[in-house]
């Protein structure tokens, strides 16, 4: 796989801590960003988390730092935003960091969606999923989300054996001939 292709498979994990969920009146008080490859290995971590906590950095400065970090790690328009219930973070990012969001793909990877599907479809396996510590710290939350998605990948989205692949192919062909 070429270097550009592997970079295109990366995921941009973001977690924001806000004073509330109203994008008109609440503020971002903490932010973190990690980059993983498609196998969920952490490749890079933004140093911005500590900087935001210990400074009076403006949102514009934070966006510039986030965007600079992500541009070094990902090609424009190809890598999705990832996180847990990341739609809430996305609303704030769309409003307050639009250039950062323009760099990302329009799709998102939301671990909470995977969690809900696994809870419904694979309840026995779901019982063993890692539990959240609920620290509500941006970097901790991202790390927990990555670990949770790794669990689902390794225990529920298992690689197919040759026999399973053959059955899938047969079923796919049968469905095509019926229609």
| HEC sequence for 17-46 | EECCCCCCCCCEEEEEEEEECCCCCEEEEC
CATH at residue 47: 3.30.420.10
C-alpha torsion sign, points 29, 51, 92, 119: negative
pTM higher than 0.95 for the full model? no
Distance CA 96, CA 124 (A): 41
- What residue numbers bound the domain in which 52 lies? 3-177
In 3D space, the residue among 92, 106, 76, 83 whose CA is nearest the CA of residue 27 turns out to be 92
Q: What average pLDDT is seen over the chain? A: 87
Whether residue 174 has pLDDT greater than 60: no
The residues carrying an active-site annotation are: 136
Where does residue 178 fall: left (phi above 0), alpha (psi -120 to 50 degrees), or beta otherwise? Answer: alpha
Per-residue pLDDT band at 83 (split at 50, 70, 90): very high
pLDDT tens digit string along 88-105? Answer: 999 999 999 999 999 999
45 DSSP β-pair partners: 34
| Average pLDDT over every residue of 161-165 | 72
In 3D space, the residue among 157, 159, 168, 163 whose CA is nearest the CA of residue 125 turns out to be 157
pLDDT reported for residue 2: 45
Domains identified in the chain, total number: 1
């Amino acid at each position: 796989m070429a270097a550009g292709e592997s970079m295109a498979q990366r995921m941009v994990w973001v977690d924001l801590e806000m004073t509330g969920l109203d994008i008109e009146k609440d503020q971002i008080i903490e932010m973190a960003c990690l980059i993983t490859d498609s196998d969920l290995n952490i490749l890079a971590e933004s140093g911005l988390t500590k900087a935001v906590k210990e400074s009076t950095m403006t949102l514009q400065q934070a966006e510039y730092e986030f965007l600079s970090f992500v541009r070094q790690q990902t090609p424009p328009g190809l890598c999705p935003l990832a996180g847990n219930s990341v739609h809430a973070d996305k609303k704030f990012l769309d409003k307050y960091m639009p250039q950062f969001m323009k760099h990302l793909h329009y799709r998102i990877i939301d671990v909470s969606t995977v969690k809900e599907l696994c809870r419904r479809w694979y309840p026995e396996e779901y019982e063993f999923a890692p539990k959240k510590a609920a620290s509500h710290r941006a970097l901790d939350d991202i790390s927990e989300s990555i670990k949770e998605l790794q669990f689902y990948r390794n225990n529920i989205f298992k690689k197919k054996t040759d026999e399973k692949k053959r059955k899938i192919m047969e079923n796919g062909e049968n469905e095509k001939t019926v229609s």
